[in-house]
Amino acid sequence: MRFLRFLSVPVLTLSSLLAAPAVAQDAAAPSLPLPVDELHADELHADELPVDDTVRDIDAVVVSGVLPGPGLWKVSNGGHVMWVLGTVSPLPRKMEWEAREVGQVMARAQELMWWPSVSFSADVGFFRGLALAPKVIGMRKNPDGARLEDVVPAEDYARWAVLKRKYVGRSNRIEGWQPIYAALELYGEAIDDTGLRQSGVIEPVLEKLARTHGVTQSRPVIKVVIEDPKQAIAELRKTRFDDLDCFRKTLDKLEGELGIMRERANAWAVGDLEELATLPDTNHYQACLDAVQATEVISRRSGGDLLARMREEWLGEAERALSNNDVTLALLSLRQLQGEDGLVAELRARGYTVEAPGEYEADPIADEAAAGGYEAGAASAD
């Protein structure tokens, strides 16, 4: 049995930098208490959504209905093409992704390559996993029983109290948690309360398309096996993260960018890449990632810089796919697509041809659609 859901903080923060979530859907809300096999920021199931063929606005804030999403990037190596979907997170909760262009690609693709991720696991057996689960749950708490107001500066706690009251309510269940856990829980609650969702829009559509067309799915993943889970849990229960920067930047994100996140979600949903390029996207997860990786209990067991290893794993898998497949569909966060030091920029540096939506002269999948190779209904996740 693989469990170690207590490691969802490092996994989610790592995934959010390269992925989803998600995710990306490149970041998902942390969910800590129970064991899972492999944790990825975007690997959650969607709720059933009503089908609607209109685009409308909810309270003039978040769009909903059947929406196209953005165009695809093209990475080519001779006659081998990788189409890349850039993702953001969060996305509108009540949107249904039409995925017409992606469906046309999937009708001819040999492989669907998901976001890069990290998997923490431990082969401990079912009953031993159950025995360890209560200890896992307790790891969110401050080691010495302190409360948030005791461990964060007064001015930051005052900001926290305002946001907590707004998005979490009167419950004090997270007041005893370490700042990193409390901050990410608050972030997830705020996203949920804003008409957005961190996962479940993209994944079910792609999974159905892959099944429909018999497309092989691959997941570039760094697998970290915890060989001493009981000892690791004991150490983490005693570990105080250096996480005040994570806590503070999460508050900054919620106070200053929640409206911008709605705008980014809307822009992705309607496929407005120009608008997306103008909207800031502060990566508050980096501070949380730094706090996690700096702890000795994680760094000693993870085998080095996980972010760098994820990067190299994805690049290796991308080059393999570009060599072996005629057509591949891959997913990356827009951050990794558009950034000067992103993964697609690295492919360009290695000699591959990279073209953004609108830059390539002809769309080689258009003829397939015209010939009936894709039906609009195929994109439905229901």
Q: Nearest Cα to 88, choosing from 345, 262, 274?
A: 262
Give the model's pLDDT for residue 365.
Answer: 57
Low-confidence ranges of the chain (pLDDT < 70): 1-61, 122-137, 362-382
Q: Nearest Cα to 199, choosing from 190, 209, 210, 191?
A: 191
Phi-psi region of 339 (alpha: psi -120 to 50; beta: other; left: phi over 0): beta
Q: How far is CA 307 from CA 219, 343, 344, in A?
A: 16, 12, 16
β-bridge partners, 77: 80
The pLDDT tens digits of the residues spanning 233-242 come to: 788 778 888 9
Query: What are 204's two structure tokens?
Result: 């079910």
Which amino acid is present at 33? P
Q: What is the model's pTM?
A: 0.79
DSSP H helices in the chain: 8-18, 100-106, 126-138, 148-151, 154-167, 179-192, 203-213, 229-237, 244-270, 273-278, 285-293, 296-302, 306-324, 334-338, 343-349, 366-370
Domain residues of the chain, as ranges?
5-379
